[in-house]
Amino acid sequence: MSESEVLTRVESGVGRITLNRPKALHALNRAMCEAMTDALLAWRADDAVHSVLIDHAGERGFCAGGDIRMIAESGAGDASEARAFFKVEYRLNHLMFEYPKPLTAIVDGIVMGGGVGISEPAAVRIATERTTYAMPETGIGLFPDVGGGWFLPRLPGQTGVWLALTGARLKAADTVALGIHSHFVPAGRIEALKAALLAHPDNPQAVAASFAEAAGPAPTTELREAIGRLFAFDTVEDIFAALEADGSEWALAQLATLKTKSPQSLKVTLRQLRLGAAMPSFADNMALEYRLGGRVVRTHDFQEGVRAVVVDKDNTPNWSPADLAGVSEADLDRLFAPLPAGQEWTPLT
């Protein structure tokens, strides 16, 4: 059992899901998503299960994302395996978003990409002093999927757009202040918290509240006005221009960061978030991200981003197009276009 990449069991009325791939920082693959889905479906109608707790083995982090190497290798071909993974992963994200029983996610350590996708749908999202949150996809030629198009534009002001475009990393004080995570609990109290959740499986909100402590001052609080003013535009070119015109040390640092990202990914991500903000349902958002996912993984920038950051680790990707002007609206239209009949993403029935 300990060799399984996901451990699922029921304890004292709590359905427990433990990510168990610590050497890979619990990066998600298709089998892991299927195991979580099977457990959640089995517990959904089981009166003996009152709530669900998602955590991870080891101390290195909650989940660093999806299995990027597999996705890139598939994208170098026909992307069929990547699309199959996205289909299952996004169905899991949606199942969690619509789940009728309370979900608690203990996000102790690194949480990025796919890890965000399986923690943000939970009503109780617990961060610790070891939590580091980021959506760093524009740095590898991708976009913030797994529901990023829904969750990020619903953060205060334009903070979600800033996080998505820059890939900025946040600690718990900021994630709790922004509502990304619901509670801060020191890592040393997490085991006691889990025991309390098992003792009171019907009310994880009350348990989390009883353990929660102040996370400390949030550095982004002082930045929200600037973020709201400088990232409110509907084109990446306008955001670049606003940052340059502002001229402050912080604005120029953001601009310098953005210039290292894939121009294609920046434009895809900004359009994704503007569309996601107006989506009528989470399922509609996931269908959009599925269209994007199967296409973006086949692009030069994703292949090059994974090479530079994950494979060779030289961190010097050669983006193509190399600048924003080279990414046209027609290019974006092709990436966002509906899929042929019968190929669109749909939720689990």
Per-residue pLDDT of the chain (349 residues; tens, 9 = 90+): 458 999 999 999 999 999 999 999 999 999 999 999 999 999 999 999 999 999 999 888 999 999 999 999 999 999 999 999 999 999 999 999 999 999 999 999 999 999 999 999 999 999 999 999 999 999 999 999 999 999 999 999 999 999 999 999 999 999 999 999 999 999 999 999 999 999 999 999 999 999 999 999 999 999 999 999 999 999 999 999 999 999 999 999 999 999 999 999 999 999 999 999 999 999 999 999 999 999 999 999 999 999 999 999 999 999 999 999 999 999 999 999 999 999 999 999 8
Catalytic residues: 66, 114, 137, 145
| Domain architecture of the chain: domains with CATH | 6-336 (3.90.226.10)
Instruction: Yes or no: say if 272 and 320 are a contact pair by the CB < 8 Å rule.
Output: no
Q: What does pTM read for this prediction?
A: 0.97
